Amino acid sequence: MNADYNAICTFLYREARLLDDRQWDEWLELYAEDVEYWMPSWDDDDRITEDPHSQISLIYYGNRHGLEDRVFRIKTERSGASTPEARTGHAVLNVEVLADRGTEVDVRYNFHTMCHRYKATDAFFGTMFVTLRRQEDTFLIGRKKIVLKNDYIRQVIDVYHV
């Protein structure tokens, strides 16, 4: 493994930890201003939707302002869907570099999140496709596509579940 791969894994592990620790402002700093954050849904033919502008998505933010609004609602308890806050544990698995274009790196990895709320524990799992932009000695997330494999869930899905 090279140092860049280790830096990528360290970055992804840090993002997961910030979610688990509810460090919302630090988590937001990992995202570029023009990030596209997208969790497509599954259609009736068991295929992932392909266009967040014309098809249903589980989550879609076309830039960081949407994520900032979501975090504001979580932090100020203006979100019934996230009150009380869930306790989460994120696992980042099978990290694979798909393409390296110099300033950007496309990465695919699996995730498994355990979430405890209302005396019940749920599991969420799937695959992430992220584009990381090199920024001096770290990265920024320029694009994130989350393919949630267990989308039949009994609650509203939120950014901290994945």
pLDDT reported for residue 118? 83
Strand pairing of 87-100 and 104-117? antiparallel
**Average pLDDT value for residue range 65-84:** 77
Total domains in the chain come to 1
pLDDT at 1 over 60: no
What is the domain-level CATH number for residue 39?
Answer: 3.10.450.50
Domain residues for the domain of 59 are 3-161
pTM of the model: 0.91
**Average pLDDT value for residue range 116-120:** 85
Strands (E) in 76-119, as ranges, are: 87-100, 104-117
**Who contacts 150 (Cβ-Cβ below 8 Å, separation ≥6)?**
123, 124, 125, 126
Tens of pLDDT, residues 34-63:
999 999 999 888 999 999 999 999 999 999
| Mean pLDDT (the chain, rounded) | 90
